[in-house]
Structure 1
Amino acid sequence: MSETKRVVVYGASGYTGRLICEYLREYGVPFVAAGRSADTLSASMATNVAGIETADYEVVEVTHDLESLTDLFQGASVVLNTVGPFSKWGPEVVEACLAAGAHYTDTTGEQDWLITCDEQYGADFAAAGLLLAPGIAQMYTTGEIAAEVALETPGLDTLDIAVFWGGSPTIASTQTILFNAALSGAHYLEQGRYVPFDPEAGHYQLAIPGQHELALALPWGGTSHPVWYRNDPRVANVKALGGVFNKALMLGVPQIVAAAIEATKDMDADDTYTALAATAAQVMSTMPPRENPRLNKSLDSVHASGPLGRAHCVIHGNQNYKQTGLLQAYAAYHLLQQPPKRVGFASGCQAFGHRELLGVLRSFGLVSAPVLTVES
């Protein structure tokens, strides 16, 4: 590990990894671009990362095993992990960070992986004074920011969250959707306890701000929000639904997932992963184009309620993958200069502050000012 490059982007050649590297360059943060193939990493940096010629970085090829990753992370302050599905590939990275004494973040949306991080690794990271922050990404953190803005009104204990975005998922995101749906259940939070969504419920129809047509939503694996708020004394109930604005794509998701579950129901774990990866490749086998702010819009809407009050916060944005890349890069930038607000298992807002993260996204033109309506 380079003594001057204390940030590792693991999985840097992927769609989100490239964007993280791009924003690290803008923050002036030296970094190591790590992954399985040095040739792929070098080509990806040169071809896909805007301004890479002015970045201070190096490419490192590494094998995905605990010993190799621990060696790579020695001397690092923070590891930004984009290698998913995280429930399959995450444990070695988390354990290597703990062994090397590095903070850990990732971009996961896998609820089972967040629960694992919380219950299996959180206490050890806290004892070491390290941050364990899975799920720092647009589809979760921007919605969390909206929830936190709504919760600035005291006396609200229930969060009803909707997260939408425009565009196509990446190859990795498609794999995560299938793995998450096929291998684990989706849960919401009710009176502080995890409750499973009905797997047979199908689509939910939501009236979302900014359009007359009802939008189709799914539990989307349950999302990160119920896990982050499970031990928050302000909040007793959290339900999150999400989707893309493309209704045809949303209509197809349950059928694809159901077919994948049926095809793999009698397989062992290794064969199941192989089969699901093949199915994901049939759905999305090429990287989507670079985001266009006119097309790749995002919407985070949170209704917060309590016995005697209501608040509704809406955040409109664009380029959800760029939001993710920026949030990850800022996390590293922050951690290089000062400790997080919380160590151990923590969300992006818990670690860095929701108003701070909102300011970061707004300063780069990726979200508008929150629209907050309060009834009391």
Structure 2
Amino acid sequence: MSSSTKPVVVYGASGYTGRLICEYLREYHVPFVAAGRDGEKLTSSMRSNVAGIETADHEVVEVTHDLASLTDLFQGASVVLNTVGPFSKFGPEVVEACLAAGVHYTDTTGEQDWLITCDEKYGADFAAAGLLLAPGIAQMYTTGEIAAEVALEQPGLDTLDIAVFWGGSPTIASTQTILFNAALSDAHHLEQNAYVPFDPDAGHFHLTIPGQHEVALALPWGGTSHPVWYRRDPRVANVRALGGVFNRALMLAVPQIVKGAIEATAGMDAEDKYLALAATAAQVMSQMPPRENPRVNKSMDSVHASGPLGRAHCVIHGNQNYKQTGALQAYAAYALLQQPPRRVGFASGCQAFGHRELLGVLRSFGLVSEPVLTLER
């Protein structure tokens, strides 16, 4: 079935993040197709979990996850917002269908290997077609990128030390991403414009973060998107990104869960390993977390930017990180329907739409505070 009557397709709309994207598309008055592999689940999810859905211009479409079916669905649309992960497993068909149908692509990934694949395998083809390929538009990556860009407004800074923290529980999909990242791929930081792997046996990093006296525990969290986005940025040579949740007990448990999953899947072929990791993820998180509470689900993005003769520190405090993702994704679609992005091909959210513009979006919905910038010269 073609989506030609609606300009935006939300693929994976029944999931936690997909539903929030649909809410914000409604607020932007953007017509959309809520697409996924289970039509009954989609319909139920739209009715029960998307506030104001009765006033949204939308339709529900069930689609098989294969290149031909997705290409047919995307024909006539302008933008696909993809939330179906793990992206390294399910992303290629969606990206290739977008290219075949001539539509822009965004997703919410945090999988560094998928970012690298998008950059190196698909970026040139999207650029040649005048299309945007923007994986990783999400709170854990884009809000930190906004903080980095605010700091980089000061010239002469070439090193980014990024920390991202949030409160609450990860969704089912996020839990899968954590395990798949750790078990199936290396996490890299950027050193003199080259990818360098983190030591997989390093354990926790102990960080002093703004807003609390207690030292926080952090992990490479798959390496995140930032080293990939900045690898070809002439301003930046070095990027290290670490992340964590404010819940210390959960942070202490993550390495043990990951270690157990890696040991349990050693020697398996790729498909068996995927099934085993999915089962492990389900044991950790098998149900949707509750709707976010801004008093509980807080976020903190801190970036130290430094250079030979200068330093800047930018902190952005926020709330409801999944709602931040929903707002950013919906705005990306809203903007792309009105004008071309600032950059085509592989690009981050800030590279495609501007960091001050995205900051304004989050501020307008009450999701982040004004950045706190401290300079040292």
TM norm structure 2: 0.99
Q: 2:135 and 2:183 mapped to 1: Cα distance? A: 21
Q: What does the per-residue CA deviation read over 1:114-158, in whole Å, with 9 as the maximum and x for residues that have no partner?
A: 000000000000000000000000000000000000000000000
Identity of aligned residues (%): 88
The one-letter code matched in structure 1 to 2:317 is H
Residues 1:312 and 2:304 are matched in the alignment: no
Residues 1:18 and 2:35 are matched in the alignment: no
Corresponding position of 1:231? 232
**Aligned-pair CA distance for 1:159:** 0.1
Q: 2:107 and 2:178 mapped to 1: Cα distance? A: 16
Q: 1:75 and 1:312 mapped to 2: Cα distance? A: 44
Corresponding position of 1:173? 174
Judged with a 3 Å threshold, the aligned counterparts in structure 2 of structure 1 residues 199 and 124 are, in CA distance, closer, same or farther, namely: same
Name stretches of at least 5 consecutive residues in structure 2 with no aligned partner.
Answer: none
The one-letter code matched in structure 2 to 1:32 is V
Residues 1:43 and 2:83 are matched in the alignment: no
CA contact (8 A) 2:3 2:74 kept: no
Alignment of 1:93-112 (within 5 A): 93-112=94-113
Q: 2:92 and 2:365 mapped to 1: Cα distance? A: 33
Alignment of 1:1-376 (within 5 A): 1-376=2-377
Name stretches of at least 5 consecutive residues in structure 1 with no aligned partner.
Answer: none
Q: 1:34 and 1:341 mapped to 2: Cα distance? A: 28
Q: 2:27 and 2:45 mapped to 1: Cα distance? A: 18
The one-letter code matched in structure 2 to 1:374 is L
**Aligned-pair CA distance for 1:11:** 0.1
The one-letter code matched in structure 1 to 2:18 is G
Deviates more, 1:3-12 or 1:139-148: 3-12
Q: 1:157 and 1:3 mapped to 2: Cα distance? A: 45
SS, match of residue 212 in structure 2: coil
Aligned-residue CA RMSD (Å): 0.4
**After TM superposition, which residue ranges in structure 1, 4 or more long, deviate above 4 angstroms?**
none
CA contact (8 A) 2:3 2:9 kept: no
Q: 2:130 and 2:149 mapped to 1: Cα distance? A: 25
**Aligned-pair CA distance for 1:2:** 3.7
Q: 1:38 and 1:359 mapped to 2: Cα distance? A: 35
The one-letter code matched in structure 1 to 2:255 is P
**Aligned-pair CA distance for 1:8:** 0.1
Give the number of equivalent residue pairs.
Answer: 376
The one-letter code matched in structure 1 to 2:82 is N
Q: What does the per-residue CA deviation read over 1:248-287, in whole Å, with 9 as the maximum and x for residues that have no partner?
A: 0000000000000001011000100000000000000000
Q: What does the per-residue CA deviation read over 1:335-366, in whole Å, with 9 as the maximum and x for residues that have no partner?
A: 00000000000000000000000000000000
**Aligned-pair CA distance for 1:4:** 3.2
